Structures are given as C-alpha cells and as structure tokens.
Chain A
Amino acid sequence: GAVVSQHPSRVICKSGTSVKIECRSLDFQATTMFWYRQFPKQSLMLMATSNEGSKATYEQGVEKDKFLINHASLTLSTLTVTSAHPEDSSFYICSAPKPGLADNEQFFGPGTRLTVL
C-alpha cells in the first residue's frame, strides 16, 4: 500500500489564532489531495480538493478564506484554519489517490484532531 501522513495529530489552540495542518504522501506523488472534516459521531464531509500548481476547489458552504489550502509540492498539501473558533473544532482527514493504480485508490491520513478553546 501507500502511506499518507498528517501533522500534527492533535492541536489545541486559542480562539482567533490560525492553525496549519500538513498532509504528506510519503512514497508517491499526489497531484491531487482531498480534505475532509469529521464531527463527532458523524461522517466524513469533503471540504475541498487540493490541486498541485493551481487553486483548490472548495465544496459548497466551505469558506475558502477561512480554510486556506496550499498544495506546495507533489507530496505536500497544507490546510490552514484561519481565525479559528470553537465551532471549527473537529477531526480533519486528508486523502490522496495514488497514480498508476487501476482505480486511483485513495489513501487516507491518520487525521488531525483540532480543539479550539
């Protein structure tokens, strides 16, 4: 299989501050990565598609100025939660499809738990 990592695994921040979450594909290059948010006892909701070399594509209802996505390289995408508020507290998961596989199988990171005080 392939490996996708996320950093940090947990972060606690004060309301009003910004938090950056990294998603890395460790053994393959990913021109596309996906960011999901999962509230407690709920499903994964797609927030945005991160595209290397171009702007991210956001799902309806997701504020692009609040959730800044930068696909800095073929192995790294970052999600920055700007001016975080308690309602942004959630579990954030990224995924990346591995090119060359028959169905572009996606590999998920272990997630980042964000708590905003």
Chain B
Amino acid sequence: AQTVTQSQPEMSVQEAETVTLSCTYDTSESDYYLFWYKQPPSRQMILVIRQEAYKQQNATENRFSVNFQKAAKSFSLKISDSQLGDAAMYFCACRGNNNDMRFGAGTRLTVKP
C-alpha cells in the first residue's frame, strides 16, 4: 500500500499571495496517481488537481499547480493568487492500481484578508 506524508499541519497565506503545500509519498507500484483534495468545513471532499505518475509534465488547474518530483517522491501544491475561499483542509493522496486511495494527515490552510 501507499503511504503519504504531509509535514505541515498548518499554513497561512495572505490573500492574493502564493503558498506551497508539501507532500511526499511512497509506493512500490510503478503506475499510480497523485491527488490534492480540498475539504472545507462541510467535509465534502473536492478534487483540486491530479497527476498521473507516468506523465513528466506538472499538472495545472487555473491557480493550482503541482511540482511533481518522481525520483524524490515529492508532490507539492502551489496555490497562486490565494483567495479567501481557498481556506480549507488540504489532503494529498496517492492511489494505486487497486483504486485504494491513501491520504496524508492534511494541512489546514488559512487565508488572511
């Protein structure tokens, strides 16, 4: 099974600024997917961005982008032009061939106006 580590329990960013959330993972599988999910107070899991491990190009979704370093097993999330609505828990996740998804401990992001 995969393991995912998020070493930042809390992060804070000023509105309109950029913040990077860190994530490292470990897996024995050669084919896997990496994800960042956002969990607002409603607790609904919202997919932010995904990365296929076989793709070298970093995924981007509007203000969200990742820095995928496969050799280092690192998968950080960069949020540009932070908005108040970005405040939430962010979970990094790794999914293997069995579709079972493992999550990191999460990072609570605060956006200051």
How far apart are the CA atoms of A106 and B95 in the complex, in Å?
10
| In the bound complex, CA of A49 to CA of B101 (Å) | 10
Which residue of A is nearest B45, CB measured? A108
Contact of B100 among A34, A91, A105 (CB under 8 A): A34
Q: How far is the CB of A94 from chain B (nearest CB, A)?
A: 11
- Of B20-28, B65-73, B75-83, B102-110, the stretch lying at the interface with chain A is B102-110
A43 near B42 with CB under 8 A, answer no
Residues 79-117 of A, flagged 1 when their CB comes within 8 A of B and 0 if not, give: 000000000000101010100000111101011000000
On chain B, the residues within 8 Å of A106 by CB distance are: 95, 99, 101
B33 interface residue (CB < 8 Å to A)? yes
Query: How many chain B residues touch the partner (CB < 8 A)?
Result: 19
State whether the Cβ of B30 lies closer than 8 Å to any Cβ in chain A: no
> Which residues from 11 to 57 on chain B have a C-beta closer than 8 Å to any C-beta of chain A?
33, 42-45, 47, 50, 52
Hey, which chain B residues are within 8 Å of A42, CB to CB? 105-106
Shortest Cβ gap from B106 to chain A (Å): 5
Determine the distance from Cα of A35 to Cα of B104 in the docked complex, in whole angstroms. 16
Contacts of B95 in A (CB 8 A): 106
Q: Can you list 29 A-B contacts with CB-CB less than 8 angstroms, sorted by A residue number? A: A32-B99, A34-B100, A34-B101, A42-B105, A43-B103, A43-B105, A43-B106, A44-B45, A44-B103, A45-B103, A46-B100, A46-B101, A49-B98, A49-B99, A93-B43, A93-B45, A95-B45, A97-B99, A103-B33, A103-B50, A103-B52, A104-B99, A105-B47, A105-B50, A106-B95, A106-B101, A108-B44, A110-B43, A111-B43
Interface residues of B (CB under 8 A from A): 33, 42-45, 47, 50, 52, 91, 95, 98-106
If A34-B99, A105-B47, A108-B45 are given as contacts, then 10 extra A-B residue pairs at C-beta distance below 8 Å, sorted by A number, are: A34-B101, A43-B91, A49-B98, A91-B43, A93-B45, A95-B45, A106-B99, A110-B42, A110-B44, A111-B44
List the 7 closest pairs (A to B, CB-CB), nearest first: A108-B45, A43-B103, A44-B103, A111-B43, A43-B105, A97-B99, A110-B44
